[in-house]
Amino acid sequence: MSPDAAPSSHGLVADPLPALRRLRAAAPRVFGQLHALLLTTGLALHSPNFALLLRLASTAVPSLSHRLQLLLCSPLPPTAFLANSLLLAHLPSALPLYSLLFLGGADSPPLLRPNEFTYPALLRASPPRAALALATHSLKFLGAGTASRDRVLGAALLDAFARCGRILSCRRVFDRIVEPDLPAWNALLTAYARRARDSSCAGEAAEVLDMFGRMASSTVRPNEITLVAVVGACGELGALGHGLWAHAYALWCKLAVNCFVATALVEMYSRCGKMDLAEQVFAGVTDMDTRCYNAMLQGLAFHGHGRSALALFGRMRAEGFPVDSVTVLAVMCACAHAGMVDEGQGLFDRMKVQFGITPRIEQYGCMVDILGRAGRLDDAEKLIRGMDIPPNAAMYRSLIRACGIHGKLELGERMIEELMRVEPEQSGNYVLMSNFYARMRLWEDAKRARKEMKAMGIDKSPGSSLLDIDGVLHEFLTGDKTHPASREIYAMVQEIEARLNHCGHRRSTVGVLFNVEEEDKADTLSYHSERLAIAFALIASSPGDPIRIIKNLRVCSDCHESTKLISQLYGREIIMRDRTRFHHFRDGHCSCGDFCKRHSSSSNIISPSANLWRPFH
């Protein structure tokens, strides 16, 4: 209560309204006195006054039924305005009140009809599943046209559908808004960006860039939330040109590059293969936090800079920033990609004692990967068996790959049994199994795995590669022949193969389509998606320009070796991001030092197939 208010003989102020408006909480006894005063003076007959009282009920009245009775027994007839006041006072746990007031029971109609003010705050405060149900109810009660007229409600619905992954519903709501404002644009852009991040879907990320272009041509001025969504999509696509443009556009608009924007930029540049620009942005951050450090550590890990990641981790600790589970995972991944077994093992062993972080499935999985790469397969199996949480399929896959590399048949078969128990209908598992047996030269077992996959109607996801040429993204699948320049691309593939053969390159066909002839296996390798992307880049880009490729699967050992030679033969730097890390090919060498080539599982080998060519502008 305001200290300036003069107390009455009853201990309350003579005019309670100024003090009532300043109150954020009230004890039960004081609340009862205020309630009585409003009733006896007639002030409760004014809705705004009674709404203030309902706001205080959230702290002063412990019983939900009592709060509801307070509304129903008021001197005013219950209205949606008063009900909304009660709901707002009880966020984020207002769902029971909403159900009682606006939904009714099985045999009773709802007490009140909601309006456009009922839903926005409630939608944002509810968990995803509840928010989805509320969004559905709002469209039922209010009609779809209300969201198009009320921008606050429209933005809340967009956010609710976005959090639930309902992109089509999100788009339908957005398309009904005649003149979308900034919150509406941001909600839709964030929805697509989140979907692209969760599903690694190039189409969703491309949609973000397309919509941002539409937004930029409108009268709506973007803000920092917009930039985070757009930059994140550029990172997913590896669209460096678009990312540079978005960064420049933000500077031109004088948007604040706060820690959230800086984190998104660091992630984008690192995922586009430009660690120099990621480091430049990182060095300029003035409001540094743990998330920004984590983004930089993840970038260093992704590019195989293990020593640099450890040095940055030491600096982070020296500057007093908290270490979380993401930090530990990023540093462990950096150790894994750089072959730093002892350092990764040491960090895993002390993470709980030194940092108070209990290992999660991600840290366990990374440790299994580290041990598997080092050939310590018995230790990796012991770690899996001794976990206090159930292992996941990724851990089994990692150990199966390592068993194939190091020739451990019995352990590999045990892990295959566990993998099929956990994830029996995942196509990649059958391909992994067939490649494992092919490495062991157990051709009948490899053939059986493919037959089982075919009998179950499981299709292997084809390898795809994205290539950025002058700001236009080209997508290729293995055996793609639908590109407008397909004839020229395949002619260049033949030229590349001839030059590779002249240099003495012999293609590794182990595990590739074991039921076809060696010559056909070699042809299959020639038409991998990254080979086609490289061929097109040599045709379409300027001599000396770096070639940037984003691949959805691991690069196979033969493509890795071939790309090293191509970088030397054609004098081009080739920057390739596969499912696990970056490879920088230059002058016949790779930044991974062939560590990743030795640990490739050839899990991306499939038969040639037709594909969709799709340029993104």
Domains, the chain, in order of start with CATH, read: 16-101 (no CATH), 359-460 (1.25.40.10), 464-598 (no CATH)
Contact 555, 583 (CB under 8 A): yes
Nearest to 220 by CA among 180, 256, 255, 192: 180
Supply the pLDDT for residue 107: 64
Supply the pLDDT for residue 99: 77
User: Quick check: 612 pLDDT over 60?
Assistant: no
Coil, strand or helix: which one is 169?
helix
Compute the Cα dihedral for 341, 413, 596, 266 and give only its sign. negative
- Most confident by average pLDDT, 50-59, 71-80, 431-440: 431-440
Query: What's the token pair of residue 39?
Result: 């009733």
User: Quick check: 45 pLDDT over 70?
Assistant: no
Q: Identify the residue whose tokens are 């093992």.
A: 345
Supply the pLDDT for residue 277: 95
- Residue 469's CB: how many other CB atoms inside 10 A? 19
Percentages (nearest 5) of helix, strand, coil residues in the chain: 60, 5, 35
Rounded distance between C-alpha atoms, residue 165 and residue 128, angstroms: 9
- Residue 510's CB: how many other CB atoms inside 10 A? 16
Which string of b and e fits 586-604 if b means at least 16 CB within 10 Å?
Answer: beeebbbeebbbebbbbbb
- pLDDT band at residue 417, thresholds of 50, 70 and 90? very high
Nearest to 550 by CA among 461, 464, 457, 456: 464
Residues in the chain: 617
Nearest to 189 by CA among 232, 243, 237: 232
To 5 degrees, how large is the angle CA 430–CA 433–CA 436?
A: 150
Rounded distance between C-alpha atoms, residue 379 and residue 356, angstroms: 24
Phi, psi dihedral angles at 322 (to 5 degrees): -65, 140
Q: Identify the residue whose tokens are 């006195």.
A: 33
Amino acid in position 333: C
- Considering only residues 329 and 165, tell me which one the structure prediction assigns the higher pLDDT: 329
Rounded distance between C-alpha atoms, residue 363 and residue 466, angstroms: 30
Supply the pLDDT for residue 509: 54
Give the mean model confidence (pLDDT) for residues 571-599: 81
Coil, strand or helix: which one is 230?
helix
- pLDDT band at residue 61, thresholds of 50, 70 and 90? low
Give the mean model confidence (pLDDT) for residues 418-432: 87
SS (H, E, C) 59-100: HHCCCHHHHHHHHHCCCCCCCHHHHHHHHHHCCCCCHHHHHH
Residue range 222-269, pLDDT digits in tens: 899 999 999 998 888 888 888 998 899 888 888 888 899 999 999 999
Percent pLDDT > 70 in the chain is 83
User: What are the Cα distances from residue 459, in Å, to 416, 451, 456, 464?
Assistant: 19, 12, 9, 15
User: Quick check: 49 pLDDT over 80?
Assistant: no
Contact 148, 184 (CB under 8 A): no
Nearest to 66 by CA among 20, 22, 35, 112: 35
- pLDDT band at residue 606, thresholds of 50, 70 and 90? very low
Supply the pLDDT for residue 615: 34
- pLDDT band at residue 513, thresholds of 50, 70 and 90? very low
Taking the CA atoms of residue 250, residue 251, residue 257 and residue 262 in that order, the dihedral angle to the nearest 10 degrees is: 70
Supply the pLDDT for residue 34: 74
Contact 17, 43 (CB under 8 A): yes
Coil, strand or helix: which one is 518?
helix
Residues 6+ apart with CB under 8 A from 165: 194, 195, 198
User: Quick check: 60 pLDDT over 50?
Assistant: yes
Rounded distance between C-alpha atoms, residue 169 and residue 174, angstroms: 9
CA 150 to chain centre: 30
Rounded distance between C-alpha atoms, residue 535 and residue 521, angstroms: 19
Based on the number of CB atoms within 10 Å of its own CB, is 283 exposed (0-12), middle (13-18) or buried (19 or more)? Answer: exposed
User: Quick check: 10 pLDDT over 60?
Assistant: no
User: Quick check: 68 pLDDT over 80?
Assistant: no
SS (H, E, C) 262-295: HHHHHHHHHHCCCHHHHHHHHHCCCCCCHHHHHH
Give the mean model confidence (pLDDT) for residues 409-432: 90
Contact 499, 452 (CB under 8 A): no
* Mean of all residue pLDDT scores within the chain: 81
Give the mean model confidence (pLDDT) for residues 448-460: 79
- pLDDT band at residue 12, thresholds of 50, 70 and 90? very low
Supply the pLDDT for residue 13: 42
Rounded distance between C-alpha atoms, residue 276 and residue 183, angstroms: 33
Contact 351, 357 (CB under 8 A): yes
Strand order in the sheet with 589-590: 472-477, 464-469, 547-551, 574-577, 582-586, 589-590
Query: What's the token pair of residue 236?
Result: 């997913």
User: Quick check: 602 pLDDT over 70?
Assistant: no
Supply the pLDDT for residue 515: 40
Residue range 99-144, pLDDT digits in tens: 777 876 656 667 778 888 888 888 888 888 888 888 888 888 887 7
Coil, strand or helix: which one is 547?
strand
Give the mean model confidence (pLDDT) for residues 301-317: 94
Q: Identify the residue whose tokens are 């691949």.
A: 551
Give the mean model confidence (pLDDT) for residues 507-529: 53
Rounded distance between C-alpha atoms, residue 28 and residue 91, angstroms: 20
Specify the DSSP class assigned to residue 512.
S
Q: Identify the residue whose tokens are 């046209």.
A: 145
Nearest to 397 by CA among 436, 453, 359: 436
What is the enclosing helix (H) or strand (E) of 577?
Answer: strand 574-577
User: What are the Cα distances from residue 304, in Å, to 273, 362, 568?
Assistant: 12, 18, 21
